[in-house]
Amino acid sequence: MFTGAAHTLRVAQPSLSHAIRLLERELGTPLFHRLGRGVMLTSAGEAFVEPARQVMRDLENARSVVRTIAGLAGGTLDIVAPTTLAVDPLADLAGAFRRRHPAIDIVIVEPPNAAVVADVVRTGECELGLADVRTHGKAVETLEPGAVQAGGSGGGATLRPLSSGRTGGAQ
């Protein structure tokens, strides 16, 4: 059974049969009537087709979004930095980044104080943080001043206070 489907999917027929049995066990009902050398969808199988197709479309959409972000072809870079560092050196760094990756929006978040920068990065609220105080702790890499360089003038970023919450894009 499932020989034609296995051939179309380029998988071994026993593997496909096993996967279908596992799915039917998980769903708690058969999806196919096994008829000698053929199969036919049960009522549950017929009801399952469109939601399964939607899952496959959603999965492809998710893959596309991840490929876009991973390839720096789109998305948002959230940076936390005090106002003094947002002007220098961050403005130049953000400008250089925007010239290389124009489809990436940059949102610069202003923390209530420099001591919380590492926590904002560590919790994932922002991907990058600049601070004028030394931070220690797990999951945060510290670069010394001068370790990152950029050329040209800054721009192309949005500055907002941390307390306003994330916006998911440039403002």
Q: Which tokens hold the place of 127?
A: 């991907």
- pLDDT tens digit sequence for 63-96: 887 877 777 777 888 999 998 888 888 999 999 9
- pLDDT tens digit sequence for 137-156: 555 565 555 554 444 444 44
Q: Whole-structure pTM over 0.75, yes or no?
A: no
CB contact at 8 A, 128 and 80: yes
- pLDDT tens digit sequence for 113-142: 877 888 888 888 898 888 877 656 555 565
